[in-house]
Amino acid sequence: MTAPQATLGLAAMERLQALAGFSDEPDRLTRLYLSPSYVAASDRLRGWMEEAGMRTRVDAVGNVIGRYGDATGPALVLGSHFDTVRNAGWYDGNLGVIAAIAAVGFFHTKGDTFPFPIDVIAFGDEEGVRFPTTMTGSRALAGLVAPDDLDKRDGDGVSVREALASAGLDPDALATCVRAASDIAAYLEVHIEQGPVLERENRPLGIVTGIAGATRARVEVTGIAGHAGTVPMAMRHDALACAAEMILAVETVAHEKPKLVATVGVVDVRPKAANVIPGFAGFSLDVRSEKDVVREEGLAAIRAAFRAICERRHMGFHIDIAHSANAVQCDARLMDLCDEAVRRVGVAPRRLVSGAGHDAMIMARLAPVGMIFVRCRGGISHNPLESISPEDADFAVRALIEAVRAFRP
């Protein structure tokens, strides 16, 4: 598992460092969708794509698209996103874009041609940080962005439509972004793992089997507020103590059910005073699984536990489901292709599920999708501490090269 000189990886790392310089803030990386630094980074990406022998364009929602080769027919699309969260790391999304350009650049240098066109797409708005939207770039390709979505506004009151116009794009040309399923043969995305599994097993790369489905809910528990000194313990209806028991039940259900993860990340309490028994507690609930049936069973078990706890404590509760997305499976043939590509660069293939969402889950509406994960230090992401090694970047680029070479539409 040694990379000879890691030259492709080192070159990719240099570009990732250069790309990190395109930021909305001076001392940290924040590249929000359609910001001035996003537009400047688009130009930089186009330049690199053109050096790699691609013809480039920016579509109406700000996706940067490069095409390699004169072949006609359905394209093999390689890509990821280049918008970031606030105070981001350098690799989330950007690695997949740079790796795709590096792979095509390698083919260009060798004079390699393919019987199918290769498109590299750098998507925007995967992170969904600036506007109350997410994955606008890939969703526009899949025809899932409605003109109304462009009226959504950021924290400064700027609409997506206005931001597109100030970026020099034409919001009325939204429909021109749409790609037909018959136009795309497959989609391959390289991405940092954003989790600790590959690092723990000392593996540079993994092959993604699917992207977990997710349910996001808000739970509210109603008790009775009262004086912390005068109400005897046996007569209390403490909403926070009840919520605490419910939160532990969430953890227990997820522990007991294989392939299920569940998280409570936000808790709020009212009236929120040290000398008042809480009369109300609300908390978030995030439940994910690669198997939709497991997620549904998990949710049912969580609801049953909530009911039992609240009945015993004589409390009321209700759950509002805010958002629900089914799991997306990666294509079996592309997983085999990626296994073989990874093996060819000297890495034993290891399959794993993605707990985080990616553009690939939207692209799955249009074409079979595959993803290769790259080990990241400590599994850390959405954080300036995000880190990968040049050797692992090299494995990633070379595996992508092998996958493209072995691909048949």
Q: Footprint of Zn ion on this chain (CB under 5 A)?
A: 92-93
* Of 278 and 370, CB closest to Zn ion: 370
Smaller CB separation from Zn ion, 92 or 238? 92
Per the structure block, which two tokens stand in for 302? Answer: 């969580």
State in angstroms the smallest separation of the CB of 95 from Zn ion: 9
CB of 358 to Zn ion, least distance (A): 6
State in angstroms the smallest separation of the CB of 238 from Zn ion: 41
Comparing every residue's Cβ against Zn ion, the nearest one is: 93
The rounded distance, in Å, linking the Cα atoms of 332 and 68 is: 26
By C-beta, is 93 or 195 nearer to Zn ion?
Answer: 93
Q: How far is the CB of 372 from Zn ion (least distance, A)?
A: 13
In terms of CB distance, is 92 or 245 closer to Zn ion? 92
Closer CB to Zn ion, residue 92 or residue 402?
A: 92
The least distance separating Zn ion from the CB of residue 194, rounded to whole angstroms, comes to 7
Beta 260-263 vs 213-222: how paired, if at all? unpaired
- Nearest alpha-carbon partner for 319 in 213, 248, 242, 217: 217
**Shortest distance in whole angstroms from residue 49 CB to Zn ion:** 20
Q: How far apart are the first and last CA of the chain?
A: 30
Smaller CB distance to Zn ion: residue 98 or 221? 98
Cβ within 8 Å of residue 71, ≥6 positions away = 113, 114, 115, 116, 117
Name the minimum Å distance from CB 211 to Zn ion. 11
Those residues whose C-beta lies under 8 Å from the C-beta of residue 250, and which sit 6 or more positions away, are 262, 263, 264, 285, 302, 305
By C-beta, is 277 or 374 nearer to Zn ion? 374
Amino acid at the residue 373: F
353 φ, ψ (degrees, to nearest 5):
-95, 150
As given in the structure block, the two tokens for residue 143 are: 């025809």
Half-sphere exposure of 13 (CA within 13 A, CB side): 14
